[in-house]
Structure 1
Amino acid sequence: MPPTLGAVLRTPRLGLRLRAGGPDAEGRPVRWVAISELTDPTPYLEGGELVLTTGIRWPEGGGEEADLADYTRRLAASGAAGLGFGSGVAHEHVPPALVAAAERAGLPLIEVPGPTPFIAVGKEVSRLLAQEEYEGLTQAFAAQRRLTQAALRGDRAVVERLSADLAKGTAGRSRGEGPSHWWVLLLDPDGRARHAVPEDAAARAGELTGEVSRLRAARRPSGASVSSRGESISLQPLGVGGRVRGFLAVGAAHGLGADERTLVNAAASLMSLELEHRVPEEGELAAGVLEALLDGELDLREGRADRLSAALPRPPVVVALAEAPVGEEKEGEEIPFRAPRGCLTGRIAGRTVLVGPESAAPGEALAEAVAGSVGVSRPSALDGLPAARVEAERALEAAVGEGRALVLASELPGGFLGLLDGRAGRRMADEVLAPLLEQRSSEDLIASLRGYLSAAGRWDAAAEQLGIHRHTLRYRINRIRKLLPGDLSDPDYRTELWIALRLLEDAAKR
């Protein structure tokens, strides 16, 4: 965490004095120092700066009250840590009107005495930043050693150690709070909770099912950030070589800081290695084979797969999916379930899967056994199971959205556009763009992102298209980079954002 305004104020040799800002002013983090005599420096700020000025361009007495009110209000809205006014240069004292305006805007105002050069304030902030970074690295290395020792006792010990280190970390205390409340979950590949600290956090696994399914379906699974119940949740896939062995979920009332991300990434790496060598539990092997077939990770055309092919359902086969598990109550009665002859069943990625010959009607059998919707693929050969799974997922999404018990993939629109159409596509757009849509300035951010992408990242062309100054566009795009979990320089991620923007626009037109 960066140093606070209070730490800068408490540097004796600077002689700084807090003139306005309220009781919480000293707790504000200072990420940099910016010296500016502009009447509006906000297009050049990223947030967290201590802005220093002498007011040399201001009229004698500090200027009009309305101008000072606008100036301080803009700085506060930009997220500036505070305003430092150099007295004894252009103005002998800090203008009283500026003090009043800063107080109303909730902007900390610091008087920098004439003998103190602005460069000295900048050097002190740099020194404090370096000190905080060194202390953070020292603590992170010690925590990583403890995690490595815990890994020798198994994945549960890593979860417990990670939770303990996060709880006593510096993130909360640097803001003047006590130790932050954290919870940590180790999830199976299908999203079920394996270990939870505290134990009642296991109930949060259900909230992550959709995101787990999305990450599993990705060609290159990467981490994701999720917001739920006012908390920020970091979700990391576990595994080596692109094979997902599970997920690590970490939740707290605030987002992860740099030190905390380092700690979580270290735990994820250790647990990935641990899970690669773990002996499968009873039933996991059969479910793993079925899952590998549906993911296309087994090539049944190889001669060595003859015995496996002979043990599988006879094609053409269909894939049936349901969110609800079998064997639970339906309409007040517990319905026992036995898979139709020649069918395979399992619980994969939080969903009940039934794969069997078309003649056995797996979809109808599953619909009778679960208290929820069912989606069914079109008939397929065994080597077409991955595509059939995608069809069944689309059909299930449609069934849930329409409140129907059973939907067949053959009833849905075909082609690539069909994959994006409907509720599933709109939900995907909302999920991808959620960090921007949650902001008060969401319309400006969405419009700026669309203009930036459509202009292939050319600042001048995008700014002209949007009718704004290029520095304003740079400010917005820098903010977007901080809000979004992906990298805007990644062509795959840019494509995903562009499709999400198009889906959002199409939904708005309907």
Structure 2
Amino acid sequence: MPPTLAAVAALPQLGLRPLTGPPAGAPAGAPAGPVPDTPVMWVAVSELEDPTPFLEGGELVLTTGMRLTSANAAGYVDRLVGRGVAGLGFAVGVIHARVPPALVAAAHDRDLVLLEVPRPTPFIAIGKAVSRMLAAEWYEDVTRAFQAQRELTRAATAGPGALASRLARLLGGWVLLLDPSGAVRHAEPASAAGRAADLAADVARLRRRPEARPADGAALASVALSVPGEHIVLQRIGLGGRPRGFLAVGTAAPLPHVAHTIVGAAVALLTLQSEAPRGGRDQRAALAALLLGLPPESPAVPRGALRVLACGGRSGGQGPVLDALDSDPAGERCLALPLPGHTAIIVPDGLTGPVTSLLSFAGPIGVSDPVPAGDGEPAGCGALVTALREAEDALAAARRRDEAVQSYADLPGQGVLGLLDPGPARAFADGLLAPLRAEGLLESVRAYVAANGQGEAAARALGVHRHTLRTRMRKAAELLDRDLDDPAARAELWFALAVTSNEDGRFGQPGDSPPRPPEIA
């Protein structure tokens, strides 16, 4: 929530004095009542008799009354109220020694909050104070969204149901996860399952295939519903003409901006999981069998805790790596597998140091976290697959940083991207971004996503006129068949851009939206 008019009026350094709004039934001349908690979106200074063409609503308007008279005060107040301003601040001691009684009477009659600004308080001090409050609110929202993303990321590792449960707790409402037919896959709390029948018609609207869409070709990505005492957002999960499912969220109050961001992150996670090729599981199992090489009961299989190394060969290729392992006693206890661009090596944990020293000549090395094993038995296939991914991520970081050895444990947090298998995630990202690349719109969309959908900021970053950028975004929306003003659509694009941001083919580091201080414009 933005700062309220009551909070601004209460700042002691400003010395603002409310002049309107006495309690009901109070006698004439009674002191003003409490200032309401009206949100203040911005501070606008204007001496125009009619400033409303330059206002959006929600502003605290400041004036010295240069053009105000007893005759036009009522009309002035009517226009401000009609525009929906938060309140009016009137500076005394500049043009008028005191606030004109006609203005006070008109503001009182129209329930417009009128604040007296003392002569020592410059308008810029009020503007700065509101800007600081807005910036603090923005930072709080960003912090909350980041923390929520981390919680959703952790929950996603346990499956879509756990993610839906976590989302319900974050929003303080109920969550339904529906399959493509509209049937309930998960409800949090369980009693929310009964609401699926009420959403059937809206689910059908979101399920429309391309040929059944309205004449304008617009594809619905979400539906917002408002019923007595409840606000519902229904989101489509998946890409293309056939949805993979639906996410419904219900809360007692309308979702604030930060909550929409949290819901968008949940939808993006569910979409990425649902769009991953089903063959990825078989590929991981085949890779694990290659890495193990021999049946688990074979004595040649390393026992105890293990690590996986990803050794990137230089111009000599992978042959020298294998030769070095063959020539050293430590290499006899390792299993090596040449892969495109590097060699994967299963190493007993106790030999990690000697083996990395042995292979340091061949190029950078990525080292996984240890894979434990119980009672001297070999580590499981799934654990080794995870360790291989960790080693490859560490190798990619070592190449970027020009380091000889990089441990996965020393990498920064992997965030949402760390949940994904590289192959399926890159296939999803390449498919989503291919139309933009073909039309030369990728960098424009990247700037638009990095600016969080703010066209002015994106246009400045690209060095183009805002109308040029708007034209490009309309074309991108048509190519992608989605609304780029939808936070969920931008979240999907952010993931795709982050997945494809590293030239070495790996991902898992922070994406393309660098943190920056809030821009007040």
Superposition TM-score, scaled by structure 1 size: 0.49
* Bigger radius of gyration: 2
Superposition TM-score, scaled by structure 2 size: 0.48
